Copies of this chain bind each other. A is one copy, B any other.
């Protein structure tokens, strides 16, 4: 078995088993957030076996036989480092360079050569999580982790399908009569996302998720630099929808910074798609050009109506994500947590308060909410609604 295959098999089996055993130890405690000093032997075994498997890969000094295998390797190394972080065997706040030099070097080499941040990304667990005989990669074998990554992946697929429908509108223009099927497809796909979200809301165990799944998504260091945690939004589709609908704008400083920051965490092909959609004129702006002159044209009435249907469906899942999922599974449990553990509970690094505020802005942009302090399209949407009322 080649060194990459050996590592991959380990990640799928023993690695997940060790992590699961550690989770059970932590979870059985009064203070479930207490990690240090627990399961020392298991942790040692995790480190030892990982190092053993990585050494020959680094020695090979080669990156890849092709993009797919490089991406899989980056996921394996990255999940290893993610687990070490979760078990507090490394912690970016108390170190200036990763104590895991071999894993860091390998991650940097592979990451740079495929054009992604040198850590595991959402793609590794979601859209590009290769199943072998039905088994995909995961940190643990906990039911709630599978539930989470599977529904997450399904949600991402739905957003991608909606985005693909909307981006095919670009060459047609917002007045095309055949846009009807694309609007309908986008709306349908977004409703599918709402269903995933609803299933997660109902079935995911709050504590298991908060204490045993989420901690694997924390930021960690690779070499000298800290890389923020994997984020379910690290694919182009969600922003393609924002930009194509026109609810967010790439020239808005807040939003431009957000796009800039997330690019390295996306697959190169996704980076490309996102970049392309940044120079397109949005459907909203196209329709507004005609709001005075064509308000009675059948194409205008039909396409505005269909467009608003998509926006409503999109706003609905933005609200659902923030007001249900984030609130129930992150904000809620965080409040009951011992203050000593608060630091580092957010995946992407910033303190929880800042994260929530930032997510709120996104929600309000997507809902075109009436907010004077941010560049929401509330008034423009209102003009459009009025035109066909």
A63 is an interface residue with CB less than 8 A from chain B: yes
On whether the beta carbons of A130 and B173 are closer than 8 Å, the reply is yes
Task: For A69, give the chain B residue with the smallest CB separation.
Answer: B65
B-contacting residues, A175-194, CB 8 Å? 175-178, 180-182, 185, 189, 192
A113 is an interface residue with CB less than 8 A from chain B: yes
On whether the beta carbons of B171 and A279 are closer than 8 Å, the reply is no
A251 CB contact (under 8 Å) in B61, B160, B253: B61
A114 is an interface residue with CB less than 8 A from chain B: yes
A113 CB contact (under 8 Å) in B115, B185, B275: B275
Shortest Cβ distance from A163 into chain B, in angstroms? 10
Contacts of A109 in B (CB 8 A): 250-251, 256, 278
Task: For A224, give the chain B residue with the smallest CB separation.
Answer: B257
Contacts of A263 in B (CB 8 A): 112, 115
A154 CB contact (under 8 Å) in B115, B136, B181: B181
A64 is an interface residue with CB less than 8 A from chain B: yes
Given contacts A133-B297, A136-B176, A165-B161, contact A249 B181 (CB under 8 A): no
A82 is an interface residue with CB less than 8 A from chain B: no
How far, in angstroms, from A130 to B168 measured CA to CA in the complex? Answer: 11
On whether the beta carbons of A157 and B131 are closer than 8 Å, the reply is no
Given contacts A105-B253, A249-B61, A275-B112, contact A68 B260 (CB under 8 A): no
How far, in angstroms, from A283 to B133 measured CA to CA in the complex? Answer: 13
On whether the beta carbons of A281 and B62 are closer than 8 Å, the reply is yes
Contacts of A58 in B (CB 8 A): 251
The interface bits of chain A over 99-138 (1 if a CB of B lies within 8 angstroms of the residue's CB, else 0) are 0010011101101111100100000000111111110100
On whether the beta carbons of B257 and A108 are closer than 8 Å, the reply is yes
A66 is an interface residue with CB less than 8 A from chain B: yes
A290 is an interface residue with CB less than 8 A from chain B: yes
A252 is an interface residue with CB less than 8 A from chain B: yes
Contacts of A294 in B (CB 8 A): 133
Task: For A107, give the chain B residue with the smallest CB separation.
Answer: B256
Contacts of A297 in B (CB 8 A): 133-134
On whether the beta carbons of A173 and B251 are closer than 8 Å, the reply is no
Interface residues on A, range: 35 or more
Given contacts A161-B161, A172-B129, A297-B134, contact A253 B154 (CB under 8 A): no
A150 is an interface residue with CB less than 8 A from chain B: yes
How far, in angstroms, from A114 to B271 measured CA to CA in the complex? Answer: 10
On whether the beta carbons of A127 and B171 are closer than 8 Å, the reply is yes
Contacts of A68 in B (CB 8 A): 171
A175 CB contact (under 8 Å) in B132, B171, B189: B132
Given contacts A161-B164, A161-B165, A175-B131, contact A223 B257 (CB under 8 A): yes
A259 is an interface residue with CB less than 8 A from chain B: yes
17 pairs, CB–CB < 8 Å, chain A vs chain B? A65-B65, A101-B253, A105-B256, A108-B257, A109-B256, A109-B278, A115-B275, A127-B168, A129-B172, A131-B175, A131-B177, A133-B299, A150-B177, A157-B185, A160-B168, A181-B192, A223-B260
Closest 9 CB pairs of A and B: A134-B299, A131-B176, A108-B256, A105-B253, A113-B278, A128-B171, A61-B251, A63-B279, A112-B260
Apart from A106-B251, A112-B275, A131-B175, what are 5 other A-B pairs with CB-CB below 8 Å? Answer: A115-B275, A127-B172, A129-B171, A136-B172, A158-B181
